[in-house]
């Protein structure tokens, strides 16, 4: 069973995404912050991470930077969740961070699942 990690400070978003992917047959784990995500990645190896961009403390961008710096997590597949559209500079940053795709909130459930499955390959 493929494992998805959702990182978002909004409990309702985490619950919604958990429900969506559980019904699609995925195992879903979650983290409420960038810091909690990094802690969990010491023991978990998700096939895909869905990362919120705007979070208190460590932002999604900073969390991904740290994930890419660590030998054990640098190759993990990551997608962003964001309420804002990214600028051209932002898209370049996504490329540099090797972020596969992004989904804007509020999202269409089918679109989210489709993009996640495409990212998983």
Partner 1 sequence: MELLKNTSEDKFVLVMLSEKQYEKKLEELVRNAENNNAKICYVCLSKPVDDVIASLKNLKISIGKFFFIDILSSHYKSRESMENCIFIGEGTHKLGLIKNAIGRAISEKGCGMVIFDTISSLLVYEQTHDIVRFTHDLTTEEKQQNINNVFIILKEGGEMQGYCNSLIGDLKMFADKSIDFVDD
Task: Answer yes or no: are the C-beta atoms of 105 and 94 closer than 8 Å.
Answer: no
Taking contact as CB under 8 A, which single stretch among the options 21-29, 43-51, 68-76, 79-87 is the one that binds partner 1? 79-87
61 touching partner 1, by CB under 8 A: yes
**Sequential DSSP letters for 8-19:** -S-HHHHHHHHH
Output Rg (C-alpha) for the chain, integer angstroms: 13
84 touching partner 1, by CB under 8 A: yes
Structure tokens at 72: 């054990």
Taking contact as CB under 8 A, which single stretch among the options 11-19, 66-74, 77-85, 110-118 is the one that binds partner 1? 77-85
Residue closer to partner 1, measured from CB, 28 or 103: 103
Cα 102 to Cα 110: distance, rounded to the nearest angstrom: 14
Number of chain residues interacting with partner 1 (CB under 8 A)? 16
Name the site residues for partner 1 (rule: CB under 8 A).
Answer: 53-57, 59, 61-62, 83-87, 89-90, 93
């Amino acid at each position: 069973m493929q494992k998805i990690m959702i990182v978002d400070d909004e409990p309702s978003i985490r619950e919604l995404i958990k429900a969506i992917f559980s019904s699609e047959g995925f195992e879903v784990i979650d983290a409420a912050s960038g810091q909690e995500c990094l802690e969990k990645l010491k023991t978990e190896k998700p096939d895909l991470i869905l990362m919120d961009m705007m979070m208190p403390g460590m932002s999604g961008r900073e969390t991904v930077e740290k994930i890419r710096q660590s030998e054990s997590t640098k190759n993990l597949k990551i997608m962003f969740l964001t309420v804002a559209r990214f600028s051209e500079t932002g898209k370049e940053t996504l490329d540099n961070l090797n972020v596969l795709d992004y989904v804007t909130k509020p999202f269409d459930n089918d679109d989210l699942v489709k993009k996640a499955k495409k990212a998983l390959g």
